[in-house]
Structure 1
Amino acid sequence: MSAVFELDKTKLRESFGSASLSYDRVAGLQRTVGINLLQRVAPAQLTGTVVDLGCGTGFLTKSLLDAENVERIVALDIALPMLHAARQKLGDTGRLHYVCGDAESPPLNTNSVDTVVSNLALQWCRDLTAVFCGLHRILKADGELVFSTFGPHTLCELKQAWAAVDDYHHVNEFYRETEIRRCLADAGFKEIAVQSEIYRPVYGSVLALMKELKSMGAHNVSSGRNKRLTTKQEMTSMIEAYPLNDANIEATFEVFIVSARVENND
């Protein structure tokens, strides 16, 4: 698998935009991962300008606002409705700036950012090397990038179930650790560290899992997806093929927490 995914960016923007109203009700996994990410970031130690990349409705941004030494916070998201939801929640403060933009070409000045944090957003980017090059550009010397992202074992049960039905890509693909490390190194990052964790939440039904994925905006947006409506029989066959664990419907989410730094040439 290359480090360029065939994602429909228009579909992606629409997907997360339409999910903005339901996101907070169902994004329990994002919050759990975000809390773990904040432990790695240590907001109290942050200074200068911090970017929350793919801020969504502002869960991570709110914690960054509590960091007294942070002078400027940029909440950046590709979906304007997500930014509206974040603004309604957090309001307007002198330190907080909302920016609608693409992570693959962040509309920020070169060498203007001290830290970039991102919680479960970069897996939706098509070209990971382009993303990291853009972030390397905006970060200052010795600046740090800390992010969480899904790994390739994510939703393996759902992939297995759909594979019993047809050959379409019903579930998004996610980057391997080796690809993430290589793309970071190619972009010029140093001191790359990756931690892997597995989460297996339990759902009341396969349909409940799929409804939650859609409510988070995280359903399939690959260009190789089946673009016709799934039939009732196909859906039934997929549900019957979904693997159970002691009669429980679990979904695997593999999460990487990654940190990397821009080299200080002083």
Structure 2
Amino acid sequence: MLEQAKASSSETIRWLNADAEQLPLPDNSTDLIFSNLMIQWSTRPELVLAECQRILKPGGILAISTLLAGTLEELKQAWAYADPGRPHVNRFTHLTDWKRLTGQQLPGSTLDAATLALPYDSPMALNRELKHLGAVFKGEERRRTITAPGRFKAMCAAYPKQGNGEIIASYHAGWLYWEKARLEENSAFFING
């Protein structure tokens, strides 16, 4: 991804591959942080938010999108029918838990949420897209062997279909916005007289 970004951008842009929980950037060094659908994969999102808070300059802007609980619920239910007791869809944080975390760590932040329903030709088309994106199930309880074709067929049969044969995949998304307080907003003035 970085190679593609470098190839299609100005040479003045510096690209960095780093751990979001330990960014190799100085305090108060960044004007803008934009993160698109990354933080839901972190096992410790509070560390990612703390790093964002640390490296943002006063007045700097943080904009994060994430997936929330309820994402791919149709796929989850179809797999529950086809392979009972074996999860095949990642767990995502509930909106109320995100609001609590972001409210504590980033006072004054806003968190908007909406559900996006995207059409696919078939459950297998959805499955191929998720695999291509690298959004495969990563849970500890995942099956360690190849999923049998019969289970895929049962999942496809259980997935709810539209009148035209297409399927819908629901993505519950959240958008977090925060501006780091400017220095004058953090200061208190005392006048002796």
Does the TM-score normalized on the shorter chain lie above 0.5? yes
Deviation at 1:87, TM superposition (A): 1.4
Q: Which runs of 5+ in 2 are unaligned?
A: 188-193
Q: Which amino acid aligns with 2:107?
A: K
Deviation at 1:210, TM superposition (A): 0.4
4+ long deviations beyond 3 Å: none
Partner of 2:15: 98
1:228 aligns with 2:145: yes
CA distance in 2, matches of 1:123, 1:99: 20
Equivalent residue for 1:137, pick from 35, 51, 54: 54
Deviation at 1:215, TM superposition (A): 1.1
TM-score (norm 2): 0.87
CA distance in 2, matches of 1:84, 1:222: 29
Partner of 1:119: 36
| Greater radius of gyration (CA) | 2
1:251 aligns with 2:169: yes
CA distance in 1, matches of 2:23, 2:29: 12
CA distance in 1, matches of 2:41, 2:31: 24
CA distance in 2, matches of 1:245, 1:256: 26
1:162 aligns with 2:90: no
1:217 aligns with 2:144: no
Deviation at 1:211, TM superposition (A): 0.3
Deviation at 1:221, TM superposition (A): 2.2
CA distance in 1, matches of 2:86, 2:180: 39
Partner of 2:113: 196
Kindly report the root-mean-square deviation, in angstroms, between the aligned alpha carbons of the 2 structures.
1.6
Answer whether contact 1:190 1:262 (CA < 8 A) is retained.
no
Larger RCO, structure (CA 8 Å, separation 6 or more): 2
Partner of 1:89: 8
TM-score (norm 1): 0.64
Q: Which amino acid aligns with 2:2?
A: L
Deviation at 1:185, TM superposition (A): 3.3
Q: Which amino acid aligns with 2:167?
A: I
Q: Which amino acid aligns with 1:86?
A: A
Partner of 1:260: 178
Q: Which amino acid aligns with 1:89?
A: S
Deviation at 1:150, TM superposition (A): 1.0
Partner of 1:173: 91
- The number of aligned residues is 182
Partner of 1:206: 123
Q: Which runs of 5+ in 1 are unaligned?
A: 1-81
CA distance in 2, matches of 1:168, 1:104: 30
Partner of 2:100: 182
* Secondary structure of 2:109 counterpart: strand
Answer whether contact 1:181 1:192 (CA < 8 A) is retained.
no
Deviations 1:208-231 (A, max 9, x none): 110011111112123332221101
CA distance in 2, matches of 1:127, 1:105: 12
* Secondary structure of 2:28 counterpart: coil
